[in-house]
Amino acid sequence: MNADTIVEYTAAILMVTGGLMSLVSAIGLIRLPDVYTRSHAATKSSTLAVLLTLLGGFLYFWALERFISVRLLLGILFVFLTAPVAGHVIIRAAHRSGVKLADISKKDELAEAKERLMEEQNLERLNREKKNDSGV
């Protein structure tokens, strides 16, 4: 068993781990109660799964032909970069379009924050109006 074979095995095991991770996230996708929690499963563990797999692929090709695939690296970088943003954007869209939280959720902090923001803005506006009034 030479080094290459070990690397190949490592790559394969990475891939299987990735597969398992992804299955876990899939189970999360089924079992979790609402879109927000499901998104955790989908984005985080799934991203990890992909990263593991791509890494496995990278290693495999390196072991096979000493080939360093720039594209694969770029892909890893890309997924790393975009997956969180995508998750963020979609969840924000969900929230803004009024998707309900699951019943067991205790607190909707974003909504509260928004309310606070609104109140502050209202307050500010009122103050401004007051100033204007006094100025006249």
Told to check if 13 binds another protein by CB under 8 A, we report: yes
Told to check if 47 binds another protein by CB under 8 A, we report: yes
Footprint of another protein on 107-136 (CB under 8 A): none
Q: If you count DSSP H runs as helices and E runs as strands, how many of each does the chain have, helices first? A: 5, 0
The Cα 132–Cα 127 span in angstroms is 9
Cβ within 8 Å of residue 124, ≥6 positions away: none
Which among 19-27, 105-113, 125-133 is the span making contact with another protein, rule CB under 8 A?
19-27
Q: Are 59 and 7 in contact (CB under 8 A)?
A: yes
Output the smallest distance, CB 104 to another protein, in A: 16
Told to check if 29 binds another protein by CB under 8 A, we report: yes
Residue from 1, 2, 12, 108 touching another protein (CB under 8 A): that is 12
